[in-house]
Chain A
Amino acid sequence: MRTRSAALVAGAMLAAACGGVSHQLRRGAEPPRSIAVLPFAGDADPELRAAGRALLQSRLRAAGYLVPEAEWVDRALSERGWLRDPDAFDATALPMAEATLALGVDAIAVGSDLCQSSFNVLLLRRHAVGGRLALVESDGRTYWAADHAASRFGGFLLTSGQVFEELRAQGVHRTPMATLALLDEFVADVAATVPTRAAATAAAPPPSVDEAIATRTPLPDGGQRLVVEARASAGAVLTFALPTLAAGVPMVAVPSGDGRHRGAHDLPPGTQLTRIDVVARDAFGREARTEARP
């Protein structure tokens, strides 16, 4: 009888231990102020990994950190040749010191081994989303890391006392919303172990853009190549738009161009332009606009 009680207590303690998030925090270290979240790696679908990354960004923002937009981070990594395909990204080869400098952040959030697993044989079922997240600083040291899986475990064998509840659970097993709920749980539980910090204002002033000019050169097909140039503050990503024709045409920093950016778009013969809008967007989504004369 005593053995059975001891086994029961041990089992209960084991079950309780399984529910927690395993994490490590470098004690005494100053928490980072700004964090760039990299694309997640792992066996999970690219869409699930992208959703997990977006959720972690939002959770870190809610915890008071400055978190640059994913699109801005990806472009900065791509321009330096560190990111070719986000669906197959692996952060292990990333030079952390150079990357934090290029991204202008104190730390980088690396998600790895993000995976989804499930089985359901009615008597037993399990659906889990898990992975490993870490905050790595410029010196390559890990400030915080967590390893966790959010899971639903059940089946008629285990929940004979709650048959109606189990029937309901069987109905939603591995549905997209159930997967999303598990991903939400995984990210929220893990992010809850990152220390919160007092919210700080953005380090850099909002972006600026000016000196926009447009030139046209004829093309062999009778059309014209429109080249738009503008000068913007450091770190801004520029696009231009031709109302009703094209929006979001990328502009690229001119090598050693002192903040000048240039983009080109070919116009079909006979195109009349009314205006050209140039938009500069910084890492935190703040925008500035100017207009170039067509």
Chain B
Amino acid sequence: MKRGPWSLAAGLTLLAACTSVASHHHSEPELARLRAAGYRVAVLPFAITAPDDGFVAQSLGPVGDLLALEQGRDLPRRDRIAALLHDDVAVWLQQSDYQVVDPWHVATTLAHAGLSSDAIQNRSRAREIAALVGADALLYGEVRRWNRGYYVLQTVVDVALQLELVDGGSGRTLFTSERTETMGSGLTGGPTGYVSAATEPIAGLRGSYLRNLSRSVARHAVADLNGGELGDQPGPTTPRLGVVALARMHDGPFRAGERIDVIAVGSPDCLVRFDLGRLRVGVPMNPIARHDDPRGARATYVGHYVVADGDDAADLPLSCTILRREARRSVALRVRWEGAVSLGSPAIAAGRTP
């Protein structure tokens, strides 16, 4: 009976060493509004405070060296790791709802200003640096773990990243997050035979594991900063469009001065725009009617484009995009009409009602 608590403790310890994610973050309430209004963020160079790997892991490390660290060989290895995580975060932030100051602009401006690493990391200088790089806010990052631990029958790989978003106007911290992702290989992976008990922990030192973890940490940390998942995956709260069509059919191409009228029916209280191929994009549409229905409310949106002199294109696809006005984050849904539209003098328009 006395064995029970010990077994439980041992089990929990093993599980803790297994693949896991520890994450906590905090956002100030005004961040969603700022994001929707086009908040411009500069990602500063990241600091690294991760401890050095132990001797054994360092010795075995080369079995999984990282291609991604081959670049920037003029930098010390630890700085290259910080740069790698910085780039991952900057890349994903560019897929989010924030506007991102070009990384090369930030790097060049900071280099020209002659600021030291300590000065850049000094939060009390946030306003000065934000003004310097032309950003509304600064994103600081610190790589706290980037480690591989080898314990003969078990390998643990972990990456931890802390992010902090500081408003460049007020100097206030608007967002903080700390995320640690751990991957265990060996005993905690499951039933392990004699051979795999020895080989799995060594395989777990692979550089690709460390790289995948770092990418995952960066992606998820930015998703937290963005208030939700990245990648525009429609969910249950994503607004829908049921109908997209030309409001008035037209024989032949639309000529200069003629109107292309588009109608869409979908979720109410949303922002709707239409695109003619990639030639004319984001043409605004306005709601003209709301239909309350037991199955859910719908709204009708209309918009138009007045064909300009010089507009000349054949068979452009017509599509509409809908997104919530006051979304926690803006997942947009794009719907295509089955027909096509021609402008100017080329081939006949091929409009068909859906």
Contact = CB atoms under 8 A, between A and B. Distances in A.
Contacts of A250: 280-283, 305
B41 interface: no
B259 A21 contact: no
Interface residues of B, number: 68
Contacts of B232: 47, 51
How big is chain A's contact interface, by range?
A: 35 or more
B277 A85 contact: yes
Contacts of B185: 162, 165
B259 A61 contact: no
Interface string B289-331: 0000000000000001110111111111100000000000000
A164 B90 CA distance: 33
A177 B278 contact: no
Nearest to A180: B231
Contact of B277 (A86, A185, A199, A251): A86
Interface stretch (A90-98, A133-141, A208-216, A262-270): A262-270
A87 B282 CA distance: 17
Interface in A40-89: 47, 51, 54-55, 57-59, 61-62, 64, 66, 71, 74-75, 77-79, 81, 83-87
Contacts of B306: 225, 263-266
Nearest to B95: A54
A163 B308 contact: no
Contacts of B72: 196
A27 interface: no
A247 B310 CA distance: 22
Nearest to A47: B232
A222 interface: no
Nearest to B282: A248
Interface in A272-289: 284-285
Give chain B's interface secondary structure class. Answer: mixed
A51 B103 contact: no
A197 to B, nearest CB: 9
A28 interface: no
Interface string B192-235: 11011101100000001001100110010000000001111100
Interface string B177-203: 000000001001111110111011000
Interface string A173-216: 00011001100110011001101100111000000000000000
A249 B303 CA distance: 10
A196 B95 contact: no
Contacts of B313: 78, 81, 84
A284 B308 contact: no
Given A71-B281, A189-B68, 5 more contacts: A62-B90, A84-B314, A160-B196, A164-B188, A164-B189
Interface of B: 18-19, 67-68, 70-72, 87-88, 90-92, 94-95, 99, 102-105, 107-108, 185, 188-193, 195-197, 199-200, 208, 211-212, 215-216, 219, 229-233, 259, 273, 277-284, 286, 304-306, 308-317
